[in-house]
Amino acid sequence: MENIQSMSYSQQYQSVRQHSIDICQPLQKEDFVVQPILDVSPPKWHLAHTTWFFETFILKPNMPTYVEFNPAYHFIFNSYYETMGPRVRRINRGALSRPTVDEIMAYRNHVDDAVSLFLSDPINEELIELLEIGMNHEQQHQELMIYDIKYILGNNPLFPVYKEQNVDDREYPFIQNEAIIIPEGIYEIGKGNESFGFDNEKKKHKIYLEKYAIDAQLITNEAYLQFILTGGYKDFRYWHSDAWEWLKTNDIQAPLYWHLVNDEWHEYTLSGLHPLILNRPVCHISFYEASAFAAWAGMRLPTEEEWEIASDKFNWGQRWEWTESAYLPYPGFKKAEGAIGEYNGKFMVNQMVLRGASVATPAGHSRKTYRNFFQAEIRHPFSGIRLAQTI
């Protein structure tokens, strides 16, 4: 996807919307409806929900001539916005065999035509902010679509190929894993108002850090394999109590998509099942696993503050990187009024922060202040491990 910052708002909108269609291009129609678990949504639902966002927050309140595509879509494609009324339960998204894929594509075209017409006239700052939220919201769902497509295909016993050339097959140059030393001191983190940022990134504020070291390199498959081979998944000493129960209950023995075939480890990627590539950064790791590996290695995960302050000194963007920070509001955080205020704030409980970006993150959608968040057991995001220690 092109760098959208240099485009007009209409061009930015069209570019973002097209990227969602491009992600789905390799799919068969049967792939669009599958929902194997609660946390994975069908690709068709993502395409419709992101369209619902623009229809609901941009067109219906602000374009008097707009004709709603299908009023029933408001109920089935709302995600979690209590302000906007009742909705289909998340677990039931895969039960929506109708509307069809073709009808969803017609819905997208209907809304896109209306938004293009709407943007042919100047819009005020409030609408620009809503449009930017909508485009960034769709970019978030583009990354989620890649997670979900991989989970759908990766849990098919045929291990089907999504696309021969894809984000999983990116080459990673070797980087010497040296310790980056950050001195004790008072630092500033967070997002200012100079460019777009979500409300949970704001505002800038000062923090105090002890002297610490953080690795220049992400943990590789090879290093993680040593954790497995030395009994890391069988030794309770490395695991939080909740993590140990999760491990036993779900019989977790290796990262998601790792398979032992004829005594050789393989990994399912979007290009199929292949022998494990040892020098790649380990991927699809839960917080539980990341924390256990850190304990086994005699280190720890960085806090999100440590990660942000050190981020200019290492390469990031290959994997979302777990931190040991709970997802909490920054000083001065304030939820917006109405449905937009539900976007981030109400999730600030029982979640852990990930920093950086991943190979699945759309171009132009990453920044060092970005605060991603998931529950500690979640593994299908493109998540990895960077270690730190206080010195």
Lowest mean pLDDT among 65-74, 164-173, 357-366: 164-173
Task: Work out the percent of the chain whose per-residue pLDDT is above 70.
Answer: 98
What sign does the dihedral 9-45-371-203 (CA atoms) show? positive
Which DSSP string corresponds to 164-225?
SS-GGG--------PEEEE-SEEEEES--SSS---GGG---EEEEE--EEEESSPPBHHHHH
Query: In this predicted model, what pLDDT tens digit does every residue of 289-344 receive, in sequence order?
Result: 999 999 999 999 999 999 999 999 999 999 999 999 999 999 989 888 777 777 78
Whether residue 207 is predicted with pLDDT greater than 80 in this model: the reply is yes
pLDDT of 5: 56
If you average pLDDT over every residue of the chain, what do you get?
95
Contacts of 121 (CB under 8 A, 6+ apart): none
Q: Alpha carbon 95 to chain centroid distance?
A: 24
Cβ atoms of residues 303 and 321 within 8 Å: no
Beta strands in the chain (DSSP E): 179-182, 185-189, 205-209, 212-215, 258-261, 264-269, 272-275, 320-326, 352-356, 372-374, 383-384, 388-390
**Cα–Cα distance for residue pair 284/266, rounded to 1 Å:** 14
* DSSP H or E stretch at residue 145: helix 125-154
Contacts of 262 (CB under 8 A, 6+ apart): none
Q: What is the pairing mode between strands 264-269 and 272-275?
A: antiparallel
Whether residue 383 is predicted with pLDDT greater than 90 in this model: the reply is yes
Task: Work out the percent of the chain whose per-residue pLDDT is above 90.
Answer: 89
Tabulate helix, strand, coil % of the chain (nearest 5).
40, 15, 45
Contacts of 326 (CB under 8 A, 6+ apart): 351, 352, 353
Lowest mean pLDDT among 6-15, 130-139, 157-166, 253-262: 6-15
Query: In this predicted model, what pLDDT tens digit does every residue of 24-74 receive, in sequence order?
Result: 999 999 999 999 999 999 999 999 999 999 999 999 999 999 999 999 999
Query: In this predicted model, what pLDDT tens digit does every residue of 68-127 receive, in sequence order?
Result: 999 999 999 999 888 888 999 999 999 999 999 999 999 999 999 999 999 999 999 999
For residue 295, give Cα distances in angstroms to 239, 384, 388. 8, 15, 11
**Cα–Cα distance for residue pair 131/156, rounded to 1 Å:** 37
pLDDT of 200: 96
Whether residue 184 is predicted with pLDDT greater than 80 in this model: the reply is yes
Q: Name the band, by pLDDT with cuts 50, 70 and 90, for residue 1.
A: very low
